[in-house]
């Protein structure tokens, strides 16, 4: 019997050790974590920030923050929201994906994706005043990540279902122009059944001239209506230049700032006028003592600062050229894109760098642990300070709890 009692005591001790290492590791990290919700200076006191949040699960929303990061209003009612922008009349245009039974060629229930027009001050209390959407085979591979209203009143859309860029007349419900990626890339038999190119962004950069992000090729394209592709950024698909990027922001001919997502950084690329190639001129790996983790938007503001959406760290930050934090906002889990109102897609100037100015160090990936943590973040909202160390400690504790439980059971 004494030996059996020792088994129980050892089992309970293992369980207690597991609790202690988890509690001490998580507690110390929480206590020592940098403050991500702060305002160092009010460079633009009369502005607000719109954030489109994909969220884990069904956590999508559009949120408006004042200068201090305080929520002014928030609208949910969707699986996810991505691109957000405020129109001249104050209405917010947001791309979204949600669940429907109006499924066109697909079996219900299905996903539909498109744009919503949101009026946070609607008198009838229904903030979503209208929407335009179409059914897609899967939300993951086909949701519209970006759309904008053109001066003509047409909607410019980055379509991931068929991998195309098109304009749409909302009054007549018809496409008015389309560019299919199959004109440049070898297409699969049915692009709706695979995440072929993942075209995730299109911006008007001139009259009939568009900047397009083709995520799965690590390339940015410049399209001209009537001409097709007139320039390619990262022709060789070099992942050291861009790796699965999001939301490039055109800074004028010869310069662009990009959220270089899988490289966990933001880069400014300049065209080398001698060779025609595009080169990294400015890089940010770290902001406020925290390494960027899957940033998915970067905008150059008219004041010269850069607004970054740091997706897996659940924050939006504004920094100067030397990386100093101007503002840092804690936002809902997995933000996709942020717009500074009233500036929107208008941009500041490129940085006059003399080479590749690098701020901070890249957060290195840990085999097994980093992919596991990344997967969890897409399902559960985790604090930004949770790292691979916490995953390792939790796994070790789980082993201790299982071993301890087995010893207690054997003592019965």
pLDDT tens series, the chain, 412 aa: 445 688 888 989 999 999 999 999 999 999 999 989 888 887 777 899 999 999 876 679 999 999 999 999 999 889 999 999 999 999 999 999 999 999 999 999 899 999 999 998 887 778 999 999 999 998 888 999 999 999 999 999 999 999 999 999 999 999 999 999 999 999 999 999 999 999 999 999 999 999 999 999 999 999 999 999 999 999 999 999 999 999 999 999 999 999 999 999 999 999 999 999 999 999 999 999 999 999 999 999 999 999 999 999 999 999 999 999 999 999 988 999 999 999 987 778 999 877 789 999 888 889 999 999 999 988 888 899 999 999 999 999 999 999 999 998 887 7
Q: Output the pTM of the full model.
A: 0.93
Domain assignment present for 203: yes
Q: How many domains does the chain have?
A: 2
Is-cis flag, bond preceding 109, omega within 30?
Answer: yes
Shared domain check, 373 and 402: no
Residue at 215 is within a domain: yes
Q: Using alpha carbons only, what angle is made at residue 187 by residues 183 and 190, rounded to the nearest 5 degrees?
A: 125
- Residues 20, 80, single domain; the answer is no
| Cα separations in angstroms, 52 against 56, 284, 290, 343 | 13, 22, 22, 16
CA distances (Å), 217 to each of 180, 186, 220, 242, 412, in order?
Answer: 15, 12, 9, 9, 60
**In terms of domains, do 295 and 197 share one?**
yes
Same domain, 59 and 177: yes
Residue 388 maps to a domain: no
Tokens of 378: 């897409």
pLDDT value, residue 344? 83
d(CA 32, CA 55): 26
Pairing of strands 265-271, 255-260: antiparallel
Same domain, 6 and 103: no
Phi and psi for 237 in degrees, rounded to 5?
A: 60, 35
Same domain, 317 and 196: yes
192 and 67, same structural domain?
A: yes
Same domain, 290 and 400: no
Same domain for 83 and 206, yes or no, is yes
Q: What's the length of the chain?
A: 412
Residues 335 and 230 placed together within one structural domain of the fold = yes
The CATH number given to whatever domain includes residue 314 is 2.130.10.10
205 and 298 assigned to the same domain: yes
Same domain, 14 and 86: no
Domain that holds residue 199: 44-377
């Amino acid at each position: 019997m004494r030996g059996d009692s020792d088994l129980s005591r050892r089992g309970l001790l293992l369980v207690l050790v597991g609790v202690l290492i988890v509690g001490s590791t998580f507690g110390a990290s929480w206590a020592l974590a940098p403050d991500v919700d702060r305002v160092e200076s009010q460079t633009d006191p009369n502005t607000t920030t719109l954030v489109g949040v994909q969220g884990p699960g069904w956590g999508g929303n559009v949120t408006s923050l004042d200068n201090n990061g305080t929520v002014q209003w928030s609208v949910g009612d969707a699986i996810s929201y991505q691109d957000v922008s405020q129109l001249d009349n104050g209405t917010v245009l947001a791309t979204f994906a949600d669940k429907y039974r109006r499924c066109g060629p697909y079996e219900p229930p299905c996903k539909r994706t498109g744009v919503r027009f949101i009026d946070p001050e609607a008198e009838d209390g229904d903030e979503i005043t209208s929407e335009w959407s179409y059914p897609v085979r899967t939300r993951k591979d086909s949701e519209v990540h970006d759309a904008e209203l053109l001066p003509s009143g047409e909607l410019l859309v980055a379509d991931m279902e068929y991998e195309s860029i098109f304009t749409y007349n909302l009054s007549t419900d018809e496409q008015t122009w389309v560019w299919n990626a199959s004109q440049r890339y070898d297409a699969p038999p049915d692009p709706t059944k695979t995440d072929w190119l993942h075209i995730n962004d299109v911006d008007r950069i001139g009259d009939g001239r568009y900047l397009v992000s083709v995520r799965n090729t690590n390339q940015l394209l410049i399209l001209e209506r009537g001409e097709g592709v007139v320039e390619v950024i990262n022709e060789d698909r070099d992942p050291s230049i861009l790796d699965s990027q999001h939301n490039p922001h055109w800074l004028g001919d010869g310069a662009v700032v990009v959220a270089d997502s899988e490289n966990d950084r933001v880069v400014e690329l300049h065209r080398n006028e001698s060779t025609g190639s595009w080169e990294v001129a400015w890089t940010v790996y770290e902001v406020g003592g925290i390494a960027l983790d899957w940033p998915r938007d970067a905008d150059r503001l008219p004041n010269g600062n850069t607004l970054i959406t740091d997706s897996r760290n659940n924050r939006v930050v504004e920094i100067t050229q030397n990386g100093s934090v101007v503002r840092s906002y804690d936002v809902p889990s997995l933000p996709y894109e942020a717009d500074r109102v009233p500036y929107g897609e208008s941009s500041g100037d490129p940085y006059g760098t003399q080479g590749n100015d690098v701020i901070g160090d890249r957060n290195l990936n840990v085999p097994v642990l980093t992919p596991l943590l990344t997967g969890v973040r897409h399902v559960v909202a985790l604090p930004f300070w949770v790292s691979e160390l916490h995953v390792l400690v939790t796994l070790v504790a789980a082993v201790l709890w299982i071993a301890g439980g087995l010893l207690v059971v054997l003592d019965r």
